[in-house]
Amino acid sequence: MRLLRIVCWTIILTLAAVPVSVLLCPKIETGIRGGRLVVAQIGGPRGFNRLFVDDQETAAISDAIMGSLVSINRQTQQVEPALAERWAFTDNGRVLSLHLRHNVLFSDGQPFTADDLVFTFAVILDDRTQSAAGRHFSPEGKKVLVEKVDGHTVRLTFPQAMAGCERWLDGVPILPKHRLESHFKNGSLATAWNLAAARQAVVGLGPFRLKQYLSGQRTVVERNPYYWKQDAQGHALPYLDELIFEIIPDKNAQQLRFQQAQLDVLKPLVGHEAAALRDLEKKGAVKIYNVGPSLINDIFWFNQNELHNKISGKAWGESCRLSWFQMLPFRQAVSYAIDREAIIRLVFGGYASTSWGPITSGNRLWYNPHVRQYPYDLEKARALLRSAGFTYRGDQLYDGRGNVVAFSLSTNAGNAVRQKMSAMIQQDLSRIGMKVTLAPTETKALINRIDATHDYEACLLSLLSGDVDPSAEMNVLHSRGALHWWRPKQSQPATAWEQRIDALMVEQQRVFDFARRKQLFDEVQEIMAEQQAFIYLAARQLIVATKSNLGNVKPGVLNDFILWNCDELYWQK
């Protein structure tokens, strides 16, 4: 999800007990300057300060215009220097000293110093910001101490040692103090870089700067003339003149636009979408890249939140549906009733694998293959439901109070993959007597229902891990997390098993012995698979496509799969 800065090689040595290794990066081609790259987004950004809005569309644009202290190489999955040219741990891992690059300028020509980093952390740690980054840097509510050592050195002191914390810096966009300090002081920072902001107001350290935003149409970013990075020949990066993010909500329309050469990149693809491009690939017009198992987890879940709006004329907290959804045998029965193999075959064309837990096999270091599995078994599903007090009258399922078991399933409209999966789930669950009504919803409206109003019953979406490190899952797995979608942002864990996961996730952050940390995170995966709060369905292979003459394409399983090295991409002659 973050913008990457490349170095030719680096020696990785952290306290995370991962063996020391020398990582050789693939050769970087010297590119040709000029041209524009057109990519598609399902929806536009929600603002230009990702500390306040961190959806995928906003993140992609922010990565291009901001800049980060360190970068995670999307191919090697290791940390590399960026705006911090080096860093060091002391005090048994509690203190992290960051040494910043000299002579770096923001996109308005003003210098970048330690003051900007201290200001950025002041924003992150401010209670008004409520960012995911703030939760990272406030373990158990204890905020990291941020101190300026000199003009280009900043020291972070954590309340306790935090394994892998240097990786979090990949997700910290550096804010310009000279532009935003007054907004921070008067309380207007959250709206300072909203969609109505003048393009000159949005200032960053990334390879591009904001040029134009047209609501509902596109965002255009142009080359940052002050960008700090150069290629091996001493030429200023980026090579491209512009990146254009076209808003195209319908995936079929995106595919058509790519086939007509109106888009330069298509990502990610499923099997039938890639197959439709084979003729163009044979003609040399496009290249298709299959990176292998991805970190994208397609998930189905029930709304277990007790606090919110009225649904179907009843207070949700009193609804019979809520009582079903909070019932473990009910969720497990649904999991057994979904034919994952059919989904993989018919939706993904075989280019996916079954998923049983929060970590996919694309995360080779932390994946636990021994979690509980739910192979397709209608009889086991029916037996679980009967054991929980449900009964059948003919083919229809009823709860113990005589209510017909029926609910609506939401997903984002215009996404053919998810709509097909929804229809298959609807059919599968009808076989165990459940009536499922499909409710496709515009993407932003759906996210608002999940995050804010909680006005939905069941949902089908995907989760993409932002990193391979377990701490990247804190926002999903910890009960206070915003992406803990079945019951998000809890002040206290609602169940004993969520409390146990909270404790395990906190403990694994404090442990630097890899084997022990793996043991703790394995247990988290086992609990999630047992409880089925998220019903994990499939982990697709990561397939992307570009025009064949796009150079320095280095797709990786971490987002953004192609644009992570956008400063190096160029058009070949």
Structural domain boundaries in the chain: 9-285+548-571, 293-541
DSSP 8-state class, residue 450: I
Average pLDDT over residues 288-305: 94
Alpha-carbon distance 352 to 568, whole Å? 30
Do residues 548 and 287 touch, judged by C-beta distance below 8 A? Answer: yes
pLDDT per residue over 483-494, tens digit each?
A: 999 999 999 999
CA dihedral (501, 507, 508, 511) in degrees, to 10, reads: -170
pLDDT, residue 316, reads 61
User: What are the E-state strand segments in 112-203?
Assistant: 145-150, 153-157
pLDDT, residue 318, reads 64
pLDDT, residue 466, reads 79
Alpha-carbon distance 176 to 194, whole Å? 16
Provide the token pair at 394: 């003919």
- Could you tell me the pLDDT band of residue 14, with boundaries at 50, 70 and 90? very low
Distance of CA 120 to the CA centre of its chain: 22
Q: Is the pLDDT of residue 2 over 70?
A: no
pLDDT, residue 16, reads 32
Alpha-carbon distance 359 to 544, whole Å? 21
Max alpha carbon distance in the chain (Å)?
A: 76
Q: Is the pLDDT of residue 569 over 60?
A: yes
pLDDT per residue over 231-257, tens digit each?
A: 999 999 999 999 999 999 988 999 999
Q: Is the pLDDT of residue 317 over 90?
A: no
pLDDT, residue 443, reads 86
Do residues 391 and 441 touch, judged by C-beta distance below 8 A? Answer: no
pLDDT, residue 452, reads 87
- Could you tell me the pLDDT band of residue 286, with boundaries at 50, 70 and 90? very high
Alpha-carbon distance 351 to 270, whole Å? 7
pLDDT per residue over 432-458, tens digit each?
A: 999 999 999 998 899 889 988 899 999
DSSP 8-state class, residue 108: T
pLDDT per residue over 85-130, tens digit each?
A: 999 999 988 999 999 999 999 999 999 999 999 999 999 999 888 8
Q: Is the pLDDT of residue 356 over 70?
A: yes
Mean pLDDT of the chain: 90
Q: What are phi and psi of 81, to 5 degrees?
A: -65, 150
Alpha-carbon distance 497 to 546, whole Å? 44
Provide the token pair at 60: 């992609």
pLDDT, residue 373, reads 98
Alpha-carbon distance 508 to 52, whole Å? 27
pLDDT, residue 11, reads 26
Alpha-carbon distance 542 to 561, whole Å? 9
pLDDT per residue over 175-215, tens digit each?
A: 999 999 999 999 999 999 999 998 899 999 999 999 999 99
Average pLDDT over residues 383-389: 98
- Could you tell me the pLDDT band of residue 512, with boundaries at 50, 70 and 90? confident
Please give the class, per CATH, of domain 293-541: alpha beta
Percent of the chain with pLDDT strictly greater than 70: 93
| Least confident stretch, 305-319, 376-390, 508-522 | 305-319
pLDDT, residue 266, reads 96
| Least confident stretch, 259-263, 308-312, 370-374, 526-530 | 308-312
Alpha-carbon distance 52 to 132, whole Å? 9
- Could you tell me the pLDDT band of residue 140, with boundaries at 50, 70 and 90? confident
Average pLDDT over residues 385-393: 97
Q: Is the pLDDT of residue 3 over 50?
A: no
pLDDT per residue over 17-32, tens digit each?
A: 322 222 334 567 899 9
- Could you tell me the pLDDT band of residue 421, with boundaries at 50, 70 and 90? very high
Q: Is the pLDDT of residue 5 over 60?
A: no
What fold characterizes domain 9-285+548-571?
A: D-Maltodextrin-Binding Protein; domain 2 (3.40.190)
